[in-house]
Structure 1
Amino acid sequence: MKSVLYRLPFPAWPARFRNLLRPGWLGDVLSGAALALLLFLPAAAGILAPLPLAALHRRLARSPNSRMAFRHAFTFALAFFALHLAWLPLSMAGILGPLGGALTVLVLPAAALTWAAPLALTRWVFGARTLLALPFMWVILEALRAKGPLAFPWGAPGYALTDTPLAPLASLGGVSLLTLLVTVTASALAALGSRRHPGVVLALLAVWSVALLWGWRGAPAVPPPTRTAVLVQGAIDPRVKAQGRTLEELNVYLGLTRRALGRGPADLVVWPETASPLPASDPRVLGPLRNLGVPVLLGAPGDVPGQARNSAYGVDGRVTGRQDKRVLVPFGESLPFAKALGFLYTPLLSRLGMPGYISATPGRALNVLPLRDLRAGVSICYESVFPALSRQTVRAGANLLVVMSNDAWFGRGPGAEQHFRLGRLRAIETGRYLLRAGNDGVSAVVDPWGRVVFRAPRGERAAYRAPFGVASTLTPFVRYGDWTLAGSVVFLLALLHGRFRGMKKLEVPGPWLIGGEDHALGRADHAEDRY
């Protein structure tokens, strides 16, 4: 009996082969993986980020219902985070053992859910106007991901533009504006995939032309780097520190600092997060720091009795100020919902070898640390991925941004590089130089355009002299805040009002009306949506 395959007409073979290679789930997986790669590749590659998002937007808009839209969005997001955060379970397994690594894998579907649920909701609420609504929903969902005890804003699409000529747009509207540009472009491309529309092409070209023009000409001038900082990398294994802090750690940093100052004067010394085992107010720390004769910023435990605080101190002959870490790493420095979930945490922490673990106490106050004519706005590690914190410090008078970090927990994988890349955008948003000191890197200086002026080799135990400058002008983002988010909320409310009240002036003709029960382009072929 001949196989039925031989009875298929020849013209059907190419279509069957394409369908075999491009089932719905595979297209979502490939698109999500492509976006993850573009978020990490250097230079101009990030400009291509709208392409994989366009594939997702088109699938969402053409989905026959919100359930199918959720499947597309979740598959896309899971593929994205599985690649983007692949380093996280691996690094935690090296620190906490196989159980710790396995538990960290749960972060991937949880993070995927924070994308999939809002995107599917957009399809359900806006129907045929899904493509028009999606870019503004992206801005809102990324803002929500930065709130609450589970805040984790890793992976926002706007960060794909960090190394492109479009990055200076962040001085206008922060990373939210970059996310809006990427996702608006994705929706426009998705619309062109259904029916070519000259108006969309012209609008897209106009938006990108204005964005590029601002990036080249509109961003403020960069103050010259006329000062010198000493960035110190102690390269102390965090697992050794976790077993018990000793004064030897302090001696390592003091020795490295003295050698760097012996090569010439400096305006500021920066040590990383938790560099000192004792608070800077302790005489065993304050005395040697005073003898350096140079202003010092250092990470150390807080000096509030009975509380575990992760703090940054300014020292210039005396302690000039302290900033406590305000945003703690979920499950790393804090146990979210500890009162309700204590029955789970207690046995789990015992299995992980941390039976006495307690959450750190978050800081509440904002303190700009004064050091002679420098006013440093300090972010401690994880805080550097939250734009609002850096904006607050500049509005409070900071003329310099400083990031203290200990990314040695991440190992030598891409985690530390991602962390550095996300934090670089704070320099553009605020128009300030950013000094970064890491335990084993990344230690660097970033100018107000986001360019890396100096970068130290990772993993070395050394102190590095690097140039920096100060600035006092306020960018539009600092002056007006996250107006992109506010505008996105207003736009979606207006669009929703128009959908249910029949406001014809909000109807957008042509390629934006795709998907849903009121499909504007005729009945879509949903064969590719069937898994």
Structure 2
Amino acid sequence: MTTPTTFRAWRTRLTPAPWPAALGDALWGALLGVLFALPPLAALAPLPLAALHRRLAHSAGGPQAFRSAFWFALGFFTVHLAWLPRSMADVLGPLGGVLTVLVLPAAALCWAAPLALTRVVFGPRTLLALPLAWVGLEALRTLGPLAFPWGFPGSALIPTPLAQLASLGGAPLLTLLVTGTASVLAGLGGYRAPALLGTLAVWSAGLGWGLWITPGTVPTPRTALLMQGGIDPRRKAQGRTQEELQVYLGLTQGALRQGPADLVVWPETASPLPPSDPAVLPALQRLRIPLVVGAPGDVPGQARNSAYGVDGAVTGRQDKRVLVPFGERLPFASVLGGLYAPVLGGLGMSGYTTVTPGSALNVLPLRSLRAGVSICYESVFARLSRQAVRAGATVLVVISNDAWFGRGAGAEQHFQLGRLRAIETRRFLLRAGNDGVSAVIDPWGRVGFRAPRGERGAYRAAFDVREGQTLYTRYGDWVVWGSALALLLLLSALTRAPWRARPDPILPMPPSRRPAERSSDLMVRLVSG
């Protein structure tokens, strides 16, 4: 006798099996990477982050939380850093491209481990702790020999008026806003309307304040000449020549014949010899104009990447202090030297020389200007520009050689991250790159001038000097320290009153009492609350 098929049985047959949780997590992370690549949509970053926060809060424990965070981060960095292996393959060959792929899981691990630890330590208060933990996590990513603060959550707000909040609390305040919003969305429910309304009020106030504080026009009575030599970096790697110096001298002389200027900026490593060298200084003196020149350091026996102020004589030198991991220095070389040697040989870089980092801050005096200089990679580290302004810098200068990035998104990401330095300090930022991005950014992060990428030329752009200090310049990373204190207070509260004795303010019930939630269910729950 045939058993009749019920409707429920048919529905079970027709319903597709849910996709693996790891795939769902990775897709949410990839969505975040796509949003970062589309500036008008980047402010939607809290949505995919909310999916991650909900997964972490509902995970059964540390291992599951780690897996969710890792696959999410891997999906994000695979999209956000897709340019990196391709660019390095163009410069270092196929082996270089393959080795660079290892950056993706390493970056994902830097997100996954602290986020999973937050879940373990704070249990059902995970959604409350996550925004504070993100702030600390991103602060740690700016420190140490492997510092790589690419893709921090707050950078999603750079294209929006909310970026003006950086003048109050720097990038950490933007990250706190984005990740805090993600936690509110992840915990939405029938009795959480006040949290949602409060978050909406914060966003509205931030947007309104950002629009109100940004002036329509800014006086720009001074003129800068930004030099863009367009020299292939692979030629430089094969050996420096005086021809490079002649390129920049010719560009500068031609631009000065068309009109005067207040400052000339040459990019990173523009000159093959330091300006203090007798073969270079007389030629710079004949220009009779203040210059910032990227060149090798003039410390005997040391390879340094430096910027010089020149105005008739050398007025100062700023050595690069934060070096590119694996590019200008080999992290933990004293321990891993035996591993590096065959890899460098395979890349054709047996003669690799580690750059000596600078240790001192030197604001370069150039007549009525005082330039705080960041060299290439340093422009993504807020503390350096803040230190320069506190030391008296009236204008920020970034010299770079983004030709190493190739034509991928890396150079653009580098440029966008550097825009925050102008907002944080309320200074004009002059940027000169070997093949771009060469630009002038005003104290509110607006791009007043931008040269075409990849073209050799001398570009005339307007700017001004400014004084005074923002709240962020005065007090620095107060958001980071405040978040650390808040985490300690939350941990203390959990220790005094076990979480099982009290209902959680975010989650309807402790995660141990509810089944783990799959990524495929999250969109419905986020939308429906």
Corresponding letter in the other structure for 2:349? M
Matching residue of 2:434: 439
Matching residue of 2:69: 73
Corresponding letter in the other structure for 1:122? T
TM-score norm. by structure 2 comes to: 0.94
How far the C-alpha of 1:510 sits from its partner, in A, is 3.4
Conserved in 1, the CA contact under 8 Å of 2:232 and 2:403?
yes
Q: Which one of 3, 25, 30 corresponds to residue 27 of structure 2?
A: 30
Conserved in 2, the CA contact under 8 Å of 1:310 and 1:324?
yes
Deviation string for 1:455-486 (max 9, x for gaps)? Answer: 00000010100011111021100011111101
- SS at structure 1 position matched to 2:161: coil
User: Separation in 2 of the partners of 1:454 and 1:507?
Assistant: 57
1:329 aligns with 2:328: no
Corresponding letter in the other structure for 1:9? A
Task: Sort the Cα spacing of 1:347 and 1:528 in 2 relative to 1 into closer, same or farther, 3 A.
Answer: closer
Conserved in 2, the CA contact under 8 Å of 1:223 and 1:470?
no
Task: Sort the Cα spacing of 1:322 and 1:484 in 2 relative to 1 into closer, same or farther, 3 A.
Answer: same
% identity of equivalent residues: 66
Matching residue of 2:9: 9
How far the C-alpha of 1:310 sits from its partner, in A, is 0.1
Matching residue of 1:156: 152
1:165 aligns with 2:156: no
1:146 aligns with 2:142: yes
How far the C-alpha of 1:25 sits from its partner, in A, is 1.9
1:523 aligns with 2:523: no
User: Separation in 1 of the partners of 2:490 and 2:518?
Assistant: 30
Conserved in 2, the CA contact under 8 Å of 1:131 and 1:513?
no
Task: Sort the Cα spacing of 1:70 and 1:285 in 2 relative to 1 into closer, same or farther, 3 A.
Answer: same
Deviation string for 1:9-63 (max 9, x for gaps)? Answer: 344467x33x53x542232112111111222322x32210101100100011011
How far the C-alpha of 1:206 sits from its partner, in A, is 2.0
Matching residue of 2:197: 202
How far the C-alpha of 1:183 sits from its partner, in A, is 0.2
Unaligned runs of 5+ in 1: none
How far the C-alpha of 1:65 sits from its partner, in A, is 1.0
User: Separation in 2 of the partners of 1:147 and 1:112?
Assistant: 17
- SS at structure 1 position matched to 2:452: coil
How far the C-alpha of 1:516 sits from its partner, in A, is 3.3
How far the C-alpha of 1:94 sits from its partner, in A, is 1.2
How many residue pairs align between the two structures? Answer: 518
Matching residue of 1:367: 362
Matching residue of 1:286: 281
Corresponding letter in the other structure for 2:107? A
How far the C-alpha of 1:308 sits from its partner, in A, is 0.1
Task: Sort the Cα spacing of 1:527 and 1:158 in 2 relative to 1 into closer, same or farther, 3 A.
Answer: closer
Matching residue of 1:475: 470
User: Separation in 2 of the partners of 1:493 and 1:365?
Assistant: 34
Matching residue of 1:49: 45
User: Separation in 2 of the partners of 1:295 and 1:528?
Assistant: 58
How far the C-alpha of 1:5 sits from its partner, in A, is 10
Task: Sort the Cα spacing of 1:248 and 1:500 in 2 relative to 1 into closer, same or farther, 3 A.
Answer: same
Matches within 5 A, 1:382-531: 382-502=377-497, 509-512=504-507, 515-517=510-512, 523-526=514-517
Matching residue of 1:107: 103
User: Separation in 1 of the partners of 2:31 and 2:519?
Assistant: 20
How far the C-alpha of 1:512 sits from its partner, in A, is 4.8
Corresponding letter in the other structure for 1:37? V
User: Separation in 2 of the partners of 1:472 and 1:391?
Assistant: 13
Matching residue of 2:298: 303
User: Separation in 2 of the partners of 1:469 and 1:314?
Assistant: 18
Matching residue of 1:91: 87
User: Separation in 2 of the partners of 1:183 and 1:437?
Assistant: 33
How far the C-alpha of 1:226 sits from its partner, in A, is 1.3
Deviation string for 1:156-178 (max 9, x for gaps)? Answer: 01111000111100000001000
Corresponding letter in the other structure for 1:461? R
- SS at structure 1 position matched to 2:292: strand
Deviation string for 1:208-258 (max 9, x for gaps)? Answer: 122112212246897521111000000000000110101000000010111
- SS at structure 1 position matched to 2:455: coil
TM-score norm. by structure 1 comes to: 0.94
- SS at structure 2 position matched to 1:289: helix
Task: Sort the Cα spacing of 1:446 and 1:511 in 2 relative to 1 into closer, same or farther, 3 A.
Answer: same
- SS at structure 2 position matched to 1:229: strand
Matching residue of 2:526: none
1:273 aligns with 2:268: yes
Matching residue of 2:219: 224
User: Separation in 1 of the partners of 2:5 and 2:219?
Assistant: 71
- SS at structure 2 position matched to 1:294: coil
How far the C-alpha of 1:195 sits from its partner, in A, is 4.5
Conserved in 1, the CA contact under 8 Å of 2:25 and 2:519?
no
User: Separation in 2 of the partners of 1:5 and 1:466?
Assistant: 77
User: Separation in 2 of the partners of 1:528 and 1:331?
Assistant: 36
Aligned-residue Cα RMSD (Å) equals: 2.2
1:378 aligns with 2:373: yes
1:179 aligns with 2:146: no
